[in-house]
Amino acid sequence: MSLGGGAPCVVQSMLCVAPDDVEANLAQIARLAEAGCEVVRMAIPRKECLEAFEAVCAQSPLPVVADIHFSAEIAIQAAQRGASKLRINPGNIGGLEATDPVIDAAGQAGIPIRIGVNAGSLDDALAARDDLTLPEKLAESAAGYVSYFEERGFDDVVVSAKASDVQTTVDAYRLLAKRIPQVPLHIGVTEAGTLFQGLVKSASGLGILLEEGIGDTMRISLTDDPVQEVRACWTLLAALDLRRRGPEIVSCPTCGRCQVDLIGLAKQVEERLQAVPKPVKVAVMGCVVNGPGEARGADIGVACGQGSGVLFAQGKTLRKVSEAEIVDALMDEIARL
């Protein structure tokens, strides 16, 4: 799988079950793969988890990135046990010199390293500087690590520089995109929060970056089921017309003209569409004002009236159905596309 060089932005997520439970991790990987995840990251907090990590790598249908903090030894063993990539932060792994054997192990295994810099774990000396803003510190830290790696002859790197603050994150990545344009960037707002807040923060920050052409791989970090992270990534990419994988719903906000349970209908359609792999656009409109006209670009849709709805495709009327039949009728038409 390629990162950078004009390749499409790759969707990632992270496993969140016990790192020593092989079957639980493989089951979660299967769910993530079904949702469209392309790369998974797995934490290895203890040496005792390395055996499970190796077993997961051997059986996973997706590339597995080893996420390691504080231990160069674990990173080295992860590279030797089947990791597709290493994720380390030199700032908490013991400094640049401590990364030397990790770089060597990655080189011998033929795998890349993601240099992950976070606002909360900068080098003490850099964090104490008053002449730099936080985005500048993040960019300085990441660019310095990249230079060190390249001086040692290792340039198969990916960089991330995350903060929980949206503007800090955006500013840091803008600086990195100018300073190290040759390096693929993993973008994300770290510790973005629970589902609602995390989606808003991530979409606002990553949407800005992606629209500016910044970001080669991404994770939307949520305190929730990681499948939601994958769905959110694809929804954001589709909203920006960068990549499409599954269906998109076009639905109007309700108002006093609406004479059906539009919220309930839209939720039912959204749930049923999760099993549809086609990149189809489906409109669920509450009345004739927002009917076929405003949703003319939809592949299939419904404009609702009093206890009923008119099905349409590409803006052309198909037939009228009762409110109880709307969802099934929409799904039948989608199956015919």
Residue 296, domain CATH: 3.30.413.10
Last residue of a domain, one of 239, 264, 279: 239
Helices (H), the chain: 22-35, 50-59, 72-80, 90-93, 100-109, 124-127, 134-151, 166-179, 195-211, 226-239, 262-273, 326-336
What's the mean pLDDT in 107-133? 85
52 domain residue, yes or no:
yes
Whether residue 292 is predicted with pLDDT greater than 90 in this model: the reply is no
Q: What angle, rounded to 10 degrees, do the helices at 166-179 and 134-151 form?
A: 40
What's the mean pLDDT in 196-201? 93
Verify that 278 and 295 share a domain, yes or no. Answer: yes
Residue-number span of the structural domain to which 229 is assigned: 10-239
Q: What is the pLDDT of residue 209?
A: 97
Higher pLDDT, residue 5 or 235: 235
Verify that 196 and 308 share a domain, yes or no. Answer: no
Domain count, the chain: 2
What's the mean pLDDT in 80-86? 95
156 domain residue, yes or no:
yes
Last residue of a domain, one of 239, 266, 281: 239
Nearest to 122 by CA among 166, 150, 96, 92: 92
Verify that 264 and 328 share a domain, yes or no. Answer: yes
Whether residue 112 is predicted with pLDDT greater than 90 in this model: the reply is yes
Q: Which phi and psi (to 5°) does residue 43 adopt?
A: -75, 140
Verify that 302 and 223 share a domain, yes or no. Answer: no
Verify that 78 and 183 share a domain, yes or no. Answer: yes
Q: Which residue has the tokens 């520089």?
A: 161
Verify that 32 and 84 share a domain, yes or no. Answer: yes
Q: What is the pLDDT of residue 318?
A: 85
Verify that 160 and 201 share a domain, yes or no. Answer: yes
